[in-house]
Structure 1
Amino acid sequence: MLMLRDYPVNSGLAAAAGALRIPFSDIAKYAALGVSVTLLLLAISLLLWQTYRCCTQGRVRRDTVGGNLFADGYSTTSSNYSEEQTKMADMGAEARRRGRCPVPGSFPSSEGATGQLKEQAHQQKVHGSLCFSLYHDQTQSRLVVSVLQAEGLRGRSDTRSLHPFVGLRLLWTEPEDERAERFVNEEAEGKACAMSTVLQEWHTRIVKNSCNPLFGDQFSCSLRQEADLQHITLRMEVKDFDKFSRHVILGEVRVPVGDLKILYPLELQEDLQAPRKDLVGQVLLSLKFLPTAQRLEVGLLKIQTLLKETRSNIALYSRICVQCNQCKLRHQKTSAVVQCQMTVFNQVFMFPLPECPVEDCNIVVSVYETNASGKFKNLIGRLTVGKDRTSEDLHWSLMMRSVCQPIARWHPLLI
């Protein structure tokens, strides 16, 4: 009797199980399975491709940064170097053979430095002219400069109005015989580039919202010797004022004072030319890159400047800044050292690079002069070292190939 009661229950469960079948045809099931398998294969392919890229980029970076790690006694698996890499390795060996301390004359010769200065001129066309007057007062041994007006100025942006002013620098260039005597024991090849020093520096008033400003400012300075007039160049830069001190140079006028007869006031009007830099010194820098610690070591060793007269109350200090993609990461200052013809610092600074690759960095060194009390500072010159700089690319390449070893080279100081 018990078996007769259970039989209808089992029959109902079997009927319910048959009703729970998936309501899709076999074609739809196989299509869904095919799509799933395709997506799985695609995901595996992307994963393998990303792994391959990561491995190849890591290998290229190790070859670029640490390619010289195994140069002293060990052999690497990749022995096919390009001609450029072989050349850099030879130059690095030559620098190590000389003790990594080149003589001051080892930075570019006169022709090379002149080409570098011309490369830094603005490629944009310059518009406008400047009217000024010069007068040499022999009775008082004074040079008088008057800035009268500027005409036809044009800025880089047509939407922004101009606020022009004129910055004047009186540059004294060393005589040729003194330059040859000073470098006779320092340079074996080529000849040294002419070096200048700033005697006086002035600024006119700012004329707002004008493309044809009237200045009417007069400046004067005393000359101790009549012979100084033959080595003086007047450099006048027309600038567009910016309240954040990012003044834009619209053009410049250079006048060799010794070539003019200025016993009487002489009025001149000259067209503006593309601005270029002047060599005011040279700096011996030492660079070392530590890839494991991701740090950059910058050493300021020596600064050579041209001194027309000895001043015991003037000192030099430098501001070293590391930039990455035009953004300042960090800056450090050296201590002030009394200025002489060859000012010795021998100070080393560490710059950590936590998130920025060293290939995208630039080093900017600004040299200032100050007095004993530190109440004033005046910019002497500035230099930039980086991979994207053609003139300093050799020093940067030597640093990257000689990892964990300091490489010292001279660099021109420009203003």
Structure 2
Amino acid sequence: MRSQLEVLNQHRLSPVSSYTNLGSGLDLASMVDPDEGHVQGSLRFSLFYDQLQSRLVVTVLDAQSLAVQDFRRSVDPFVWVRLLWAEREDKDQSSLQCVLHEWQTRLVKKSCSPVFGDQFSCALDEEEVSRVTVKFEVRDYDKYSRYGILGEARVSLNHLKIAYPLELRHNLQRPKKDIVGEMLLSLKYMPTSQRLEVGVLKIRTVSYPTTTERAIYAKASVICNQCKLRHQRTAQKKRWDMTVFNEVLTFLLPDPQIRECSIIITVYALHPAQKSSKRLIGQIHLEKGSTSENEHWKLMMQSLRQPIAKWHFIQI
């Protein structure tokens, strides 16, 4: 007879294969955050750390009273689960994180109080448990449009007693991004030739000690009126804690577009020896209206023909 953990492992989605499932292959910009004050409902889940087998078991049980978005009468919810590992146990604002594993539950159609009952497990050293945060993101599936985010729940495993299964219910909160790296970017716009140059200079990331990924690259996309106009990517580089690229990606943009467009820099990790091994690390969104990114854009437009370099957080 198969053990319970063997059954659980059948439900596990690897970090690579999960990106072919619901909502996984999309850019973060294609996700719709809920409106202010429109998050409601709760999520019930359980956590268990098997000390004998050094495995963490996460069970997504059910959700209640989810919000209905837009003009729809119901929602088609599923839950995206991330295990975030911090580079330091004493997490602070400057502490970077990385995604250890990602899973998704099954889709439950037309239900504001869905029952999931999906279990996932992964190997995890006991000394690393305190650095892990489990993030549950409740998403609304839409076949023809962008997925909506109904809210999130997260729990840090630091000082949490999960030697026995611990069942919790958390109220959903507005989703927030997590910092998974930093990138040194340069921007230069030349109005005469209508050319925008995006320089990917350095990328700093952290990775779990046993990670097998060996390469990293970045892709820059130009978005205007929510439509992707064009994109370019850097070459693959061997992944280090600080990976140096020093590459310039060039885009031809007329004056009206440069004043209305936004730039999305997406960072991927991969294992060159495997096919379909691309895994999203995180993104930077350069657009008007955001504080730090908007400052960089303003400096570029005030210093035409001069490259302006600035560090940005990579978020997921």
Farther off after superposition, 200-209 or 159-168:
159-168
Asked if structure 1 preserves the Cα contact closer than 8 Å seen for 2:181 and 2:315, the reply is yes
Shift of 1:275: 0.5
- Structure 1 CA distance, aligned partners of 2:60 and 2:145? 22
More helix by share: 1
Shift of 1:157: 2.0
2:184 maps to amino acid: L
2:70 to 131, 144, 157: 157
Q: Deviations over 1:163-219 (max 9, x none)?
A: 100000011112267x9xxxxxxxxxxx96121111111111111111111111001
Q: Rate the CA distance shift 1:394–1:131 in 2: closer, same or farther, 3 A.
A: same
Asked if structure 1 preserves the Cα contact closer than 8 Å seen for 2:191 and 2:255, the reply is no
Asked if structure 2 preserves the Cα contact closer than 8 Å seen for 1:122 and 1:275, the reply is no
Shift of 1:348: 0.7
Tell me if 1:215 matches 2:116. yes
SS of 2:269's equivalent in the other structure is strand
Tell me if 1:281 matches 2:181. yes
2:191 maps to which residue? 291
Tell me if 1:371 matches 2:284. no
- Structure 1 CA distance, aligned partners of 2:57 and 2:212? 28
- Structure 2 CA distance, aligned partners of 1:241 and 1:343? 36
Q: Rate the CA distance shift 1:135–1:313 in 2: closer, same or farther, 3 A.
A: closer
SS of 2:128's equivalent in the other structure is helix
Tell me if 1:334 matches 2:247. no
Shift of 1:307: 1.9
Shift of 1:159: 2.4
1:405 to 288, 303, 306: 306
- Structure 2 CA distance, aligned partners of 1:122 and 1:278? 19
Aligned length: 283
- Structure 1 CA distance, aligned partners of 2:256 and 2:119? 49
Residue segments in structure 2 that go unaligned for 5+ positions in a row = 1-32
- Structure 2 CA distance, aligned partners of 1:121 and 1:155? 10
Q: Deviations over 1:206-242 (max 9, x none)?
A: 1111111111100111112x22111111000000012
SS of 1:348's equivalent in the other structure is strand
Tell me if 1:175 matches 2:76. no
Asked if structure 2 preserves the Cα contact closer than 8 Å seen for 1:289 and 1:405, the reply is yes
1:240 to 130, 135, 140: 140
Shift of 1:314: 2.7
TM-score (norm 2): 0.84
Alignment of 1:356-395 (within 5 A): 356-372=256-272, 373-395=274-296
Of all paired residues, the percent bearing the same amino acid is 51
Asked if structure 1 preserves the Cα contact closer than 8 Å seen for 2:185 and 2:309, the reply is yes
Asked if structure 2 preserves the Cα contact closer than 8 Å seen for 1:234 and 1:254, the reply is yes
Shift of 1:295: 1.1
Q: Deviations over 1:43-99 (max 9, x none)?
A: xxxxxxxxxxxxxxxxxxxxxxxxxxxxxxxxxxxxxxxxxxxxxxxxxxxxxxxxx
- Structure whose alpha-carbon radius of gyration is higher: 1
More strand by share: 2
Tell me if 1:229 matches 2:142. no
TM-score (norm 1): 0.65
SS of 1:258's equivalent in the other structure is coil
Q: Deviations over 1:290-339 (max 9, x none)?
A: 01111111111111001222656531111101122323221111121121
Asked if structure 2 preserves the Cα contact closer than 8 Å seen for 1:207 and 1:215, the reply is yes
Q: Rate the CA distance shift 1:391–1:258 in 2: closer, same or farther, 3 A.
A: same
- Structure 1 CA distance, aligned partners of 2:253 and 2:187? 14
